[in-house]
Amino acid sequence: MEAHVKKSLEEWKEEIGEILVDIDKEYEEIKRELQVYSYKFSITKQVIQSTVNEEIIRNIRHLYHSPFQERFNELKEGIRDLEEKKKVFQMFIDKIDKVKGREDTNSSMIPNEQMVYK
């Protein structure tokens, strides 16, 4: 592999690595918030189950339970999205490493032979 190609791939890998770090930070923030809402949702559910007054139950559901459940579900979806993003960007890193490793062991290979077009 020519030096300028190798250098460019390394720079791209570093850029993607920075994106992965940002994804990890966001993931941890959402994970912490999800934990909070998990407790809030669980507590309100238990309180509702222990309450017999229907009016109070409706108020609790309206004020707390439904909004907590909605936010909890949004956060879970956010976690799934970030996991998918992380997987995709990690594939970039893996592919870059694979191409560089292959080139290090077989420098006579033509770059287009490495690519699979679909």
Contact 37, 50 (CB under 8 A): no
Residue 3 pLDDT class (50, 70, 90 cuts) = confident
What pLDDT digit, counting tens, does each position of 47-61 carry? Answer: 999 999 999 999 999
Query: Around Cβ 18, how many Cβ atoms within 10 Å?
Result: 11
Query: Around Cβ 35, how many Cβ atoms within 10 Å?
Result: 11
What pLDDT digit, counting tens, does each position of 83-94 carry? Answer: 999 999 999 999
Mean per-residue pLDDT over the chain, rounded: 87
Query: Which domain, by its residues, includes 74?
Result: 3-114
Residue 12 pLDDT class (50, 70, 90 cuts) = very high
Contact 87, 63 (CB under 8 A): no
113 has a pLDDT exceeding 60: no
70 has a pLDDT exceeding 70: yes
Q: What is the DSSP string of 54-95?
A: HHHHHHHIIIIIHHHHHHHHHHHHHHHHHHHHHHHHHHHHHH
Overall number of domains in the chain? 1
29 has a pLDDT exceeding 90: yes
* pLDDT on residue 108: 44
> What is the Cα–Cα distance from 68 to 38, expressed in whole angstroms?
8
